[in-house]
Amino acid sequence: MSEKLWSGRFSEKTNKNVEAFTASIDIDKRLYSYDIEGSIAHCKMLAKESIITEEDASCLIKGLSKIKREIEQGEFQYKDSLEDIHMHIETRLAQEVGKVAQKLHTARSRNDQVALDIRMYLRDETLNIMKGLVTFEKEIVNVARSHIDTILPGYTHLQKAQPILLSHHLMAYYEMFSRDLNRFGDCLKRINVMPLGSAAIAGTTYPINRDYTAKLLYFPEVSANSIDSVSDRDFIIEFLSSASICMVHFSRLSEELILWSSYEFGFIELPDSFATGSSIMPQKKNPDVPELVRGKTGRVFGDLVSLLTIMKSLPLAYNRDMQEDKGPLFNTVDIIKSCIDIFINMLPKLKINKEAMGRAASEGYLNATDMADYLVNKGMPFREAHRCVGKAVNYALSRNKELHELAIKELQSFSSLFTEDIFDILTIQKMINSRRSFGGTGTENVTAAINEAEKKIEKEMKTLTKFINYDSDAKV
């Protein structure tokens, strides 16, 4: 009858539409190398525990390695009737090594096999993403350092608020991405758990050695409950949550680049190599790249919601619904990796218009808070100072002047506490450097933050490289 590995109890062929409907090969073929690596480790364990012979194991391993080469050289044939990557590889193995292929699936089910494959895949991709994020952090810090004295208006409610250093603004993004890095590192702990040996749901009657399989596959931990092992996709949900938060950060940064590169702001210019033109308006240089990052963020959120929704009503343990986990997962992995890569390359090439930023910071009453603080320092309660400066702003506005352009006499009409030294307080440089509170925009503060970040980045990179090389003592 059919070539299907599970066809024993069936007397009718699968409907063609059902084959296409249930097949996941187009999506899960990307797991092939993990599937093969996992199977090889499984063979070695079975042989070590004398569940199969050494000869059988080496025959299976040889066959599996050959299939890997075939897939990599594009010689492998895929078809819907074989459902998924696990069935494809096992069926091909039977053609290659004959009857012994039937021993590979001893003490194993596709339920624990697929859980293993996704965990191995996601462990690698999480590490790739983390490496990308550290590299991006480095780029942020580099630009921050080279703009340690560039001043721009800080905004609240998208209204000019107070002058800040561009480096301080950039370092805010460093903080966000460094939290993302921590979050992915935390996910990794729960991804890095070995489920194989849980079999379909209840474990197995064979005397398997799960610790040995885990060791061969560099897992520091073995899953504790067979039912949970085959039905748990929390680690994907956690990954997608972390990715969603990270994309929020990329999207906010993109939004600022879009805004700042507008004619109205003119704070930055995107590199030509990262912008596009209009098909009708010759003057246009459009920020399509950050716009697409912002747009793709929506798809990542959708992937998170997909997974949450797929899982929310599933009875224990494995249900076929869970096959739908891979599309959203792979989509998010692809998107976040491409966004990180784009930003690593785009950020250092941004043209920053220091003059436009400085000009914008010197107009719009950004020194009003400092003027109020000046009065407080001379003994006036803050609320009263706030009201007094508010009146001065109103007065200056009606005369089309900035606060520092008013004469001392005019200022004194609002408070007798004003003396000539107020004009020194109101300079931008003074405003920046008097914000010395920890975490504030004062130059010394920001320089210290940059120094600290550089040290941290170097450490993170070292730990990650160790982890990527599977050093057993490496901890993220």
Q: Which residues are part of the catalytic machinery?
A: 157, 278
Residue in 91, 111, 254, 415 binding ligand ARG, rule: CB under 6 A: 111
Amino acid at 276: T
Per-residue string for binding with ligand ARG, 286-325, x by CB under 6 A? Answer: --------------------------------x-x-xx--
Assess 39 for contact with ligand ARG (CB under 6 A).
no
159 pairs with which residues across the strands? Answer: 156
Beta carbon nearer to ligand ARG, 91 or 111: 111
Assess 24 for contact with ligand ARG (CB under 6 A).
yes
Assess 114 for contact with ligand ARG (CB under 6 A).
yes
Beta carbon nearer to ligand ARG, 115 or 426: 115
Residues of span 57-86 touching ligand ARG by CB under 6 A = 84
Assess 9 for contact with ligand ARG (CB under 6 A).
no
Beta carbon nearer to ligand ARG, 110 or 169: 110
Residues of span 321-350 touching ligand ARG by CB under 6 A = 322-323
- Supply the minimum distance, in Å, between the C-beta of residue 32 and ligand ARG: 13
Q: Name the one range near ligand ARG by CB under 6 A: 95-103, 108-116, 128-136, 137-145.
A: 108-116
- Supply the minimum distance, in Å, between the C-beta of residue 84 and ligand ARG: 4
Q: Name the one range near ligand ARG by CB under 6 A: 106-114, 190-198, 233-241, 299-307.
A: 106-114
Assess 110 for contact with ligand ARG (CB under 6 A).
yes
Beta carbon nearer to ligand ARG, 250 or 318: 318
**Size of site (CB under 6 A) for ligand ARG:** 10
Give 310's Cβ-side CA count (13 Å radius): 24
**How far is residue 177's CA from residue 190's CA, in Å, rounded to a whole number?**
20
Q: Name the one range near ligand ARG by CB under 6 A: 109-117, 184-192, 302-310, 327-335.
A: 109-117
Q: Name the one range near ligand ARG by CB under 6 A: 110-118, 170-178, 334-342, 394-402.
A: 110-118
Assess 441 for contact with ligand ARG (CB under 6 A).
no
Q: What's the longest Cα–Cα distance across the chain? A: 101
Assess 121 for contact with ligand ARG (CB under 6 A).
no
Binding site for ligand ARG (CB under 6 A): 24, 28, 84, 110-111, 114, 318, 320, 322-323
